Structure 1
C-alpha cells in the first residue's frame, strides 16, 4: 500500500464532527454479548493453565473474533461494539446483578441500556459457566462478617471494583507510539531470555512475560483486521474522497500499533487502539489518556514543520479522538449507575503544567485540546488543566472561555499542592512533577502507578448516626457501643465517640478493599495492561499483583461540610450555649425534624422497640407490634414533632456554617476532615502500597444521601449530602471568594488521592473579558492559598429547571456533575435536583 495525502475529506471538515456526534447519539446505548461468549469459550479451553496465560489467550480469542466496524465518516477507527455507545459484558468480574436487572435496565432512571431478548439469552448461556468463578464471589469469601454487615447497612460501599474491573490508570502511551507493540514484545522476549529455569520466581515471571507476548500479538492482529476491513470497504466505495480516506486508514492500521508511529495521524490511531483495547481487556473505567499534549506533541511538531500536516487537519484528528472517547461505554448495576450517572467512563486528559525538571511545557496541542472540547461539546474526555505560577495567562483565558460555555470543562488542578502531596507518599520529585489526573480528581504518575483510586465511597455522616444510637443501625449492632449519647456531658466525649465509630468503619472499609484487591490478583490479572506499566516486566508481577512502581489504594470520603456543620451545631447549641438538650436533638433527628420518615425506617424503629421490650422480658406478639407501629407513626408524624423540629431548625440556621470565610468554623472543618484522612494512613494493601484518602463523591452523594437519616446541620433525611470538599448546597452565602477561602483552609495535601471543589456561576458572571479575568483571578487566589482543585458549572438555575421540563429541547446541555461532566438530560432527577440546588455565585 502506498501513502496518501492527509488533507482529504469526504465532506467539508465543518460538517464531519457534528455528523459523527449525531450518529453517536442517534439511539439508546445497547448491551452486546460477543465478549461474554468469546471469553467463556476461551476459558473452557484453558482450564488447567496458569491464570495469567488464560487471561492472555482469552484476550487473543476475543480480538480475533469480536465483530468490528468502521463507522461512517470516521478517520480514527476501532470500536468495542457494533452499536454506537454500546457496551460488552464482563462475567469474570460479576454477572448476577445484570441478569437480575434484564427487565429493568432499559427503563431505569440512570443510564438505561437497550438489550434484546436474543442478547439476554446469549449472555445467560455464557454466564452459566462463571458460577463460583468471579472476582466478586472470591472477594466476598475474603471479607469478614462485620465488613459485610457494615456494607449491608450502607456505611460504605466498595461496589466499584467489587463488581467490575479496576481501571483508574494511565499507561505508557508514549512507549507504544515510539516502538509499537512489536517493540514491547521484543522487550518481553529479551527479559524472558535473561531468566533461568532455576530462578525462584521463574514460573510466575516466565508465564507473565509469555502472556504479555500473546497480548501484544493479539493487539497487532486486531489492527490488521481493521486494515483489511478498511481495504474491503474502499474497494466498494464509490465516493473517491472517502475511498482515499479508507485506504489511508488501512495503511495506518498496517503500521500501528505494531510499529512505532511515523506521523501524527498514525500516532492518533495508535493512541486510540491502546485506549480501546484496555477497555476490552477489563471493565475498569477511568482509563485516562493523561498528558496527551506532551506525548503527542513531537509527532505533531515534526509533521507540521515538514509540511506534511496542516494545523487544521491535526485539529480535526483530535476532534475525532474526542468523539471516539464518547463511544466507549459500560453498564453498571442500577445502584452504581445512580452513583456514576451520565454514562461516564471518566477518561481524564490533562494539559499544561511542568515537566520533570520543573519547566512549563504548555504547547500548541494544549490549546488545541481545549478547542476540541469546544468543537465536539461532549462529556468525554474529562479535560483538565494543570496550573502553577508558570502557567501562561493565555492558556488560563483559553480554558476560562471553555468554562464559560457551561460544559463544565476543564477542571483546574494546582501543581503547588499536588506535587508535594505525591512526594509525601514516596513519589520522586521528577515523577511527581510529571503527574496527571485519573478519573475524577486523582493524581498519579503515569506508566508507573496502580493507584486503586476510587476504591470505595465512605459516607462520613453514617458514623454520626451510629453515635446517636450507640452503634446500632435499624436495630442491628453495626458499630461499637460508644454509650448513650444523652450521657455524654462534654463535647469532647461526643466527638471522641464519633472518632471511634469512624475508625472502626474505616478499618472495615480497608478489609473490604483488600479482599477485593486480592481477588483481582488471583482471578483477573491483566497482562496487556501490565505490559505498559513499569516495572511489571522486571518484577515478574502483573499490575494486580503489585508490579507497578507505585501502589496505593484510594477510597474517598464525602460529607465533609455536613459533618463540620453538624458537629459545630452540636458543640454550639448543646454544649457551649446549652440552648438545646441532647435528648431534644436526638428526637428531632429521629423524627426527621417532624417531616416524616419512609416506611423502611418506621419499620426499623418498630422492630427496635420490639427488640428492647423482648430483651426486658415483655411479651411481644402481633398485637403489641401493631401498637408499637401505631405509636411510632404517631410520634414521627405528630404536630408536636413538627413544631419541635421547626423550632430546632431555626436555632440551627443561626449557627455559622462552613463556606463563608469564618476562620473558627473553617478550622473546625479542617479537624473534622482529619477524622477520615489521618486514620487511613495507617493501612496498607496486598500490593505493599499505602492507603491514601480522597475527598470527593463522584455523584454518590445523592444515592447514598438517600440512605442517610437527618443530620444536626438541618439536612433532612434522604437528601443528598455535601459533595467533595464543597460547602453544603445553599449554605455558602457570602460569595465565591468566601467559599474558596473556607475550602482552602482544609488540609488538601493529606488527601493525596484528590479533593473536589464544585462551584456554580450564573453565565453573566463570566461575560466579557472582565468576567474571564475575574474568574482566572479567583482560581489563582484559591490556589495561592493551597487549594488543590476547582471545577465549575456556568449555567442558570432557570435553564436547568427548563431542561427538566423540556428535555427534548436540551439534548446537548452538558453540565459538571462531580469529577466529570455529563449530558444533563441523561441524569436521574435526583441528581439533576442536586445540581440545581448548588449555590449560584456571581462576582
Structure 2
C-alpha cells in the first residue's frame, strides 16, 4: 500500500497465523504507477472545467481497475483496492477527500537517489500541478483566515494556527466525508444495469434537471461494470492453474457472478454480497448499512431452496469480513443489525444471528458491528449479543432505539417515521 494512515498499527507479521491475508505488495511497479498518475492527471486537466458530475466520473474511471488488487488465495469475493499517492474519491483516505495527493510520498520519492533524473522530473511536475488542485487545498483557500485556527492537525488544540505556507497539504485533519450509508435495497433491487436504465427514465421524467448529473451517474456505473469484467478475467486465469477442487469451484463461481452482475441484478445471497462489496469499494463509502435487512431475503430464500446452509453463509460472510479488515479503515466499516423500521424484520433477525456469529469467530476490530435493540425485539438476539460480548469479542455494540430515535428526531427536526 502506498498511503499509510496515521493510526495504522497492524502489520502482516502481527497477523501471522490469522486467516486474513493482506496484499502488502502493490500490483503496479513504480514505472507503471508513475505512468498511471500522469494519465490520471491528464484526464483531470482535460475535464477540469467540465460539469462536476462529468469530471468526477471521468477521473473515477481513470482509476479503475488499475487501483484494484488481485484475488488472494482464500477470497470468496472480488474486491481489494490499493491507495495510490494520487487519486480521487468521496473519502480517499481518512483525512483526505475528493482529489488527494500524498505529498510526503512524493517528497520522499523525489529525494530517492535510486530513481532516474527523468523520473524525478516527472514526479516534480505532478507535485507542482497538484499543489494547488487537491480538494483539501482548494477548501482551505476558500476558508476565512480567522477560521483556520481550528484546522490544526489532530484537532482543536491551544489555538495555534497551522503553518499553511509550509504544510499546505496537512491542514485538513478534521475535514472528511464520512458516515455515508447507501440505499443498498435499491442497489440490489435494480442491479447495475437496472440503475443505468433508471437514470434514463428519471432524466426523461425531469427534463428540467441538469442532464450532466444523469450522464455522470451512467458513466460511474459503466466503471463498475468494467471493473467486474476485469475481475472476471482475473478469476478465470486463476481457475485455469488451480489444482484444489474446492478452490476451483469458488473461482469459477466468482467469475460467473462477476459476469452476471454486469447485466443482471443479483439473485442469490452470494451474488448480492459481491455487488455490495464492489459497488462500495469503488463508490468510496466506508459503511455497510443495515446489512441484516438488505440481505435478509437473499439469505432466507437460499436457505429454503437448499442453495445455502448456515455454515456456508458464515463462510461467505467471513470472507466479506476479511475484505473489510484488509482495508485498514479501522474508524469505519460499520455494520448495523436489528432495530425498528426494517423492511423484513423476521428474516433480518435470522440473518442477524448469523452475522453476530461471524464476528464472534473472526474476532477483529472491524466491522464495527452494532445491534439496535427495541421493546418487543426477539430475545434471542440479545442473548446472542451477550454471549459474544461475554467472550470478549467487543461487538456487537448495543443501542436502544427508544433512547436514540427521539434524540435524532429532535436534533434533525424529522418525524418518527
TM-score, normalization by structure 2: 0.78
**1:831 paired residue number:** none
User: Is the 2:65–2:226 contact (alpha carbons within 8 Å) kept by the matching residues of 1?
Assistant: yes
User: Is the 1:38–1:62 contact (alpha carbons within 8 Å) kept by the matching residues of 2?
Assistant: no
How far apart are residue 38 of structure 1 and its match?
5.0
Change (3 A) 1:96 1:244: closer
Change (3 A) 1:246 1:94: closer
User: Is the 2:335–2:370 contact (alpha carbons within 8 Å) kept by the matching residues of 1?
Assistant: yes
User: Is the 2:292–2:337 contact (alpha carbons within 8 Å) kept by the matching residues of 1?
Assistant: yes
**1:45 paired residue number:** 46
How far apart are residue 272 of structure 1 and its match?
0.9
**2:375 paired residue number:** 389
Q: Within 2, Cα distance between the matches of 1:399 and 1:123?
A: 51
More deviation in 352-361 or 127-136?
A: 352-361
Out of 241, 244, 251, the residue aligned to residue 239 of structure 1 is 244
- CA distances 1:438-476 after superposition (whole Å, capped 9, x unpaired): xxxxxxxxxxxxxxxxxxxxxxxxxxxxxxxxxxxxxxx
Change (3 A) 1:94 1:242: closer
**1:375 paired residue number:** 361
**2:101 paired residue number:** 95
Change (3 A) 1:361 1:64: closer
**2:141 paired residue number:** 141
**1:429 paired residue number:** 416
User: Is the 1:352–1:366 contact (alpha carbons within 8 Å) kept by the matching residues of 2?
Assistant: yes
Q: Within 2, Cα distance between the matches of 1:143 and 1:137?
A: 10
Q: Within 2, Cα distance between the matches of 1:94 and 1:426?
A: 34
- CA distances 1:390-435 after superposition (whole Å, capped 9, x unpaired): 23332222112222233322211110121112222233322xxxxx
- CA distances 1:679-728 after superposition (whole Å, capped 9, x unpaired): xxxxxxxxxxxxxxxxxxxxxxxxxxxxxxxxxxxxxxxxxxxxxxxxxx
Q: Within 1, Cα distance between the matches of 2:63 and 2:304?
A: 40
- CA distances 1:788-824 after superposition (whole Å, capped 9, x unpaired): xxxxxxxxxxxxxxxxxxxxxxxxxxxxxxxxxxxxx
User: Is the 2:71–2:235 contact (alpha carbons within 8 Å) kept by the matching residues of 1?
Assistant: yes
Q: Within 2, Cα distance between the matches of 1:304 and 1:116?
A: 59
- Name the SS for the 1:260 alignment partner: coil
Q: Within 2, Cα distance between the matches of 1:95 and 1:37?
A: 13
How far apart are residue 100 of structure 1 and its match?
8.0
How far apart are residue 90 of structure 1 and its match?
3.4
User: Is the 1:80–1:88 contact (alpha carbons within 8 Å) kept by the matching residues of 2?
Assistant: no
**2:270 paired residue number:** 265
Q: Within 1, Cα distance between the matches of 2:355 and 2:310?
A: 12
**1:210 paired residue number:** 215
For residues 679-694 of structure 1, what are the structure 2 equivalents within 5 Å?
none
Out of 397, 400, 406, the residue aligned to residue 411 of structure 1 is 397
User: Is the 2:191–2:266 contact (alpha carbons within 8 Å) kept by the matching residues of 1?
Assistant: yes
- CA distances 1:88-107 after superposition (whole Å, capped 9, x unpaired): 6437544365348849xxxx
**1:277 paired residue number:** 282
**1:402 paired residue number:** 388
Change (3 A) 1:226 1:291: same
- Name the SS for the 2:230 alignment partner: helix
- Name the SS for the 2:63 alignment partner: helix
- Name the SS for the 1:256 alignment partner: helix
**1:323 paired residue number:** 322
If you compute each CA radius of gyration, which structure gives the higher value, 1 or 2? Answer: 1
Q: Within 1, Cα distance between the matches of 2:334 and 2:25?
A: 25
How far apart are residue 155 of structure 1 and its match?
5.5
- CA distances 1:137-171 after superposition (whole Å, capped 9, x unpaired): 22222222221235457358998966765132110
**2:303 paired residue number:** 304
Is the counterpart of residue 54 in structure 1 residue 55 in structure 2?
Answer: yes
Aligned residues: 371
How far apart are residue 193 of structure 1 and its match?
2.6
User: Is the 1:37–1:126 contact (alpha carbons within 8 Å) kept by the matching residues of 2?
Assistant: yes
- Name the SS for the 2:369 alignment partner: strand
Is the counterpart of residue 181 in structure 1 residue 178 in structure 2?
Answer: no
User: Is the 1:387–1:415 contact (alpha carbons within 8 Å) kept by the matching residues of 2?
Assistant: yes
Change (3 A) 1:326 1:395: same
Q: Within 2, Cα distance between the matches of 1:178 and 1:358?
A: 14
Query: For the aligned residues, what is the CA RMSD?
Result: 3.5
- Name the SS for the 1:90 alignment partner: strand
- Name the SS for the 2:182 alignment partner: coil
